[in-house]
Structure 1
Amino acid sequence: MPRTFDRRAIHDTAQIRLLASPVRQELVDTLAALGGEASVADLAEQLGRPADGLYYHLRVLCRGGLVREVEPAEGEERRYRLAGTGDAPLRLAYRAGRAGNLAALGRFARGLLRIATRDFEEALRLEDVAVSGPRRELWTARNKGWLGPKDLEEVNRLIERLCELTSQPRAPGRERLMSLAFVLAPIRPRAKRRPRPQP
């Protein structure tokens, strides 16, 4: 049975600010990729980071209400779970305009793009990464073109499907952890610069 894609959205600006940290973004994303709950050792292994360095960020995420600590069984290590229900990645609610959450969203986007750049550069060094063909694993591109309302509806449908596919937890036949980052934004023509007067 296909999993229902969880469309939980974070509206709270303070919570979005917590996710400006690339480490915290990765923790939340990795928790989702591991089924919504994981031990610190599992998170450290997937992130290639020492477990000791993750506790601070996990405590911050817990205080912010994005993650909760699960009471461990006797003799087990600490486990953390995404807050709320479901195991899909958290999504952000955008409030555009001057009264919106622009600064927090901008910091989040910069952190996300830093992670994406690092992931791409590290993948370039891999010997076994597929760079062409139907099972290609490595892409980077920027496209710029004109869309009508129907085109935009299709783009959003395809992006939503990509999010569903790249948010699946590990299962038999899905052993390669992948990262997908993108930006879709309307572009307004910039005002022409006036030529500087000649001295």
Structure 2
Amino acid sequence: MSLSLIRLAFVACLGIALAGCTSTASDTTMSGAPIASAATLATPAAFAPTDSAPGTFARAKPYFVEFRARSAMSYGHTFAVFGVLDQNGRVPTDANGVLIPNMTEVTGLHPASTSNVPYTIGHVLPVPSETGPSDGDTENAYMTARYRIDLTEAQYRDLVAFIRKKQSSSPVWHAVLYNCSAYVGDIAKHLGLKTPNSMLFPKEYINKLEELNS
């Protein structure tokens, strides 16, 4: 094996050891989540804030963003859920602990594929990404950490506009240079929050995010 190939392999292994994001189908499947198609993963929830959203004006801050980490076979995934709180002031889920799609939406950065190949390449070179949900993001069963911020309508609309701008910028995914935690960190910074090092593993990243802002 040539010296250049050895160096390339070393960089890839280093990225795998240090980075804080994964969203491949095989990772979540091994932890119990079903495989979804790339088209399904790229489709965001339909929720958008409206004046008629149930319970939205019963409290001063009826909207929310929740920064989350979930498990996977490697080091996990960091992402955000945003939407309108239910009538009890909680993040809306059904009886199975799955996010209710017409009241919530998921955003997170991950390779634009259910294949392991772009994910592996992304530990060396930037790869095309998706910024919607990845497999397992909507299920509480896979959550390892979460930190919620409640928002007024004005704050929420501003946040949604920022997220839409981030999504339209077509960011690339790289395990070290710009991973899922870095993407979530940009959203947190927009809210004026302090953010930890994006090289932390997802669970530690979210817990540290809460610690820094509590």
Considering fraction of residues, name the structure with more strand. Answer: 2
Q: Which has the higher contact order (CA 8 A, sep 6+)?
A: 2
Considering fraction of residues, name the structure with more helix. Answer: 1
TM-score normalised by the chain length of structure 1: 0.26
